[in-house]
Structure 1
Amino acid sequence: MFLHRSFLFASALVGTLALHAQFTDDFGDGDFTNNPTWEGDASVFIVNGDGQLQLNNSVAGTSQLRSANTMASLNDMEWRMRVKLGFAPSSSNFARVYLVSDQADLNGPLNGYFLQFGEAGSADAIELFEQTGTDLGSVCRGTDAEIAGAFDVGVQVKRSAAGVWQLWVDPTGGTNYALQATGSGTAHGSSSTIGVLCTYTVSNADSFFFDDLYAGPAIVDLSPPAILDVTAISATSVDVRYTEALAPGAIGSYDILPFIGVASALLDGVDPSIVHLSPTTALTNGSTYTLLSDGAQDAAGNTAGLVNTEFTYFVPLSAEPREVVINELMADPTPPVGLPEVEFVELHNTTTTKTFDLADWTFSDGGTPVALPSYLLGPGEYVVLLANTNLGAYGSLPNKLGLSSLPALNNDGDALALRDNTDALIDAVTYSLDWYRDAVKDDGGWTLEQIDPTAPCAGPGNWRASNAAAGGTPGAQNSVYAIVPDVIAPVITGVTVSNATSVGVTFNETMDQGSVQNATYTLSPAIAVSSVLASTTSAQLQLVAELVVGTVYTLSISGATDCAGNAIGSNSIVFARPEPVEPGDVVINEVLYDPVVGGSDMVELYNRSNKTLSLAGWQLANESEGEIDDIIPINSALLLLPGTYALITEDVAGTLALYPQSAADRVVGSDMPSYNNDEGVVVLLALDGTSLDRFAYSDDLHFTLVNNPEGYTLERVDPDRPSDDNTNWQTASDVAGKATPGFRNSQYAETPAASGELNIDPAIFSPDNDGFQDVLTLAYRFEQPGFVGTMSIFDIVGREVRRLLDNQLLGTEGAVSWNGITDEGDKARMGPYIVLMEVYDLNGNVEKYKRTVTLAHRLER
């Protein structure tokens, strides 16, 4: 059922209505058999769910429905209807609506008038015909080609007492009719039947629709025209659309407030329900105005009074990257602190002059993007994205936008992307738990907030947990908001070598991609760069010749800037083509297995070979009951030049915060096996599963006087000594900050070259864990293998305080260390000590070696 505008009948028509019955049917009762009664091919017609009379056949044919409608005279009569065909009409598929007929059978000879919808060719128009018997004559014809395709039209037909017919049409299916044609037809002056006749092929047997039929005395319009809508077409053109056609010369007066005015007002030449206004002053995009209109008249002379109508001038603008930003997100709302327990994402317009329509923008977390509905986001404004099902939780929040579904935000991290309606990337955020910078708040209930939303190079350092008492600031300025200009130059953080002619370089912050693409890259020794593939964080260089194994190159870069325009600072880095790794090339050099609360395990590797190695393909693992398990690939291709380090940890930001002394460029973020906090085994594997090193750790290896090893690393004393030599491991120095991530260990002590069979270094040592001469190293060397030895430490009166070797088979050379702790676990007293080493072989040869050392303590004041 299509409801048209309500009209009133003139009181002068009361007498006429008594003589001429009024026929009307909008099929709102869902039935065409009563009130009024329709007859004919009733079995192939239905009233559909939209309250429309619909042909519903399954074969080709010609079908009709008709209803009795007695009109003793056609003078000053009117007919209205809505007709819809779901196809392009033709000579085989067309409809007729009989306004007047003196016969019940509409498909036979009759006297009357009908409207035809459809004809041969492509100029189909609505046409009014006069029929006498079987002879047809055109009375008037509407606009050519108006119904050449599928259509839905509203039609009004009027006949005067003089026999002049008028055809009025609304091409939108409504009642805002415009006059299309007039003609004369006086052959027939009465009627007994009204009806519809459909001719169709099988493909269109269910695509004829009729509604809102009226036949009776002309309806007198007593309602003034009303404004349907006001549309700003451009900054200098505004259209006012009325509910009906206006009378030419009486279109009213207009003004636009504030301070705009109207220079001219013109009635549309095709659709007289539209008035075109030309503002005196150009409109401002994104602004809302008030239109004052007064005195508009319709064709019946009804005049509208003064009306105020608000409208907004908005032209969608294209957003540049980060003009709209992902500004705040609630990834883990449980347990709630003060906000509703639902996830949300806040967007912020960072511009001062632009308004954006978010229609058909998308938001995603790596899965299927979710489309945003239309929403005007003005300069500096915020909007909170919520799932439709969660809108009620933020019922009082005005600036919220419901989505069919909000992608689930992972508690521990996710990659989010905001794209405009052309799929251009506007902003992206890849967050992790590190970004909270708060071990309590990252457990839930607090949002992540951006510090400086205008920062062009936003990254992890530009985010932190909210400081708001409620746990976040949805729809408002962030609690951590601050303008932080970027004046720091970017630096090169690493080089990877994919193959002999492909080199990758990474930077420490978001770069200007164009500058990275066009930068100058120089290698020394010289190899030319043939092509560059740049991103915002890296560049892949293709070389014209192969890198030579064993040659160390220096890569220098000039012309690259970060996205804030800062030119690259430290612009050179050394690298080499990596060689295959073999057992013994790399060792486990430092281990943190018992981190502080909120910290992360760490494993440091050291390249003790003279080769350049790559972490690509290496794996860390656990060992349980002699079996390798929990194998985790190291997610990095960092190069290890001879004598360099790499620290592996899951939480880079947290590690750098807890251990600020770390060599940041040697810290690698990667998933890791889970290591026990008291004892376990760290295993390093090559890509093919070959064991490169293995270290069995335990609390017993820590310096005895460290009461709680939490947060302390175990450091390898000498990378050239075996990993299973327990005396080769020592607690990291307090002075060094409990760890030395990415650089030489605080307890490093090179094993002295044996000048005889036993050598000591240093002669005076101070085991106070300050990182200076904390460990005594005792190196031995024999010219022949096969010796078994015992090594003990005695105090000045000859008491044994520590046994370092106990009848152990020795190699031709080796070393052990003493950290000043006795066999009872006590700290040895200050003073001189005797080192006695006794060795023998199977031939009965016995040798004794004696050395004197001094154990010193720091004097307390």
Structure 2
Amino acid sequence: MLNSIKIKQKCLLIFSILSILDGYAQTGLVVSELMVHPLSNAVFTNEYIELYNNGTQVIALEDYTLQVANTSIRLGNYYLAPRQYILLVAASAAPHFERYGNVMPIQTWRILNNINGTVSLLNKEQMVVDHVSYSNNWYGNPQKRNGGWSLERINPNLPCNNGNTWRASEAANGGTPAQQNSIWDERYVPTIRLTVQEINDESIVFGVFPSVADVSFGQHSEITVETVDLSIARYELGTESLTLYTSAALTWDTPIAIHFRDIRYCGQSQTVSISLFRSSTSLYNDLVINEVLFNPKVNGVDFVELYNRSNKTINLRGWRIGNRVISTEDLLMEPDDYRVLSSSPQRVQEDYPNAVSENFIAMQSLPAYPNERGIVLLYDQQRLIDSLFYQSSMHQPFLADVKGISLERQSSEEDTNSKGNFSSASTLVGGATPGYRNSTDVEKKVEKNSWWLDRKTFTPSGNGSESILVFNYAFSERNPMLNLTIYDSNGRVVNRLIRNKSAGLAGEVIWDGRNEQGALCPSGIYIYQSEIHTSEGHYQQFKGSFVLINAGK
């Protein structure tokens, strides 16, 4: 579904730039650098304002007025050639700057405010040709805003000045007076950051940074709404925000795509898009804790896996695991999706090669999860959605070492803390299943224990699927431990393939036809014997035979 509205007045919506169509440049006299906060122990101990002629004609500076805050200063008699700079400085500081280039001493220097202020250039008709309303937020560096560094214009050809077009100097001495700026980039095109402040039934309010002042719309500008059956009925533009009013109520838990075409920002025509998501209130256990690794392998890291057991898309923006925020941006999780929270997804994937990498969320850190016992808490904002009290005794009692083995949820329908709902992941799958279905998931439970072979004959010296023997199993007993032994036709042990491993409820075991010494077995009839046992006392044995054909023996 695609609905659109033509733009008839000035407004804005920006998320990501898709294409730059065309643009225009500002030519003439511009402010290109400001040293507003010099330090006595820095290279530059005095303030300066740098002007630049980015045009093709010589400019007579006496035709211009510098305005700092409410103070107007008529510039002196000087002709500034194209692509040249001149420094405006207090008369007493002029000798300190002469070695850098062109300098114009100002007898009545107006001190620049360190935090924020305005600097404007007016022509002889008293029309503003350039205006800079700077802020110490423009530095983009907390240390540099404390002084000793200038603010530099990135692209002096753009007809706008805001927090996207200025930044702290990267020069080693703190500035580039009467020289090309250290961050100079004539190809640079700025973008606007937009945040969704409020989503109501029939309106969306966006906050715009840094400013809407540099935005305009042409007669061909257009808003297009995609993925839902509604359109933009009207809009209102405030000084710092934009409100869109929709033709119908916005849907819940459904991504909405809005495209803007032919937007002019800083003189550049752009096509931009934003995705919105209106989240309904999450209910208890919409999302559940599904797997926890709290005793990782040596040099490994903990992880917590979440599972969306609801029938709706959930936005993890603002959610917390303990006191750690999962995401400050929109992060959608579809029904039946898994997400793994870890401080080092790469390390988890190294320890568990079957991990699904696209389901990981990198965290700066997780809460501390002690090896003996602890609690995992999941919040939607301040609302508790799930909690798990775990302890090491929840692991399989037959496991000699549980390091590197996770606790998996067995049923998403049962209460998180119901007895037996968390148990050891199958060691046959590596001891954890990060990012995919749990090995102990009882939702795939069968009525009775089953054990079977894909084929009764295999050729380990051959190629393809017939070169391995696959033992399949599906168990009705929870938390079974498995043994599997291969015998030759005389009853001699060939390979004790599985020795007291936690199996999970379903899976497979592969044999490549080699004995315990690693040598290929000779052709013949072989017998397998598998057995399962549980901590509740259940024991069952399976036996069968198969034929091994080895062309070499």
TM-score (norm 2): 0.47
RCO higher in 1 or 2 (8 Å CA, sep ≥ 6)?
A: 2
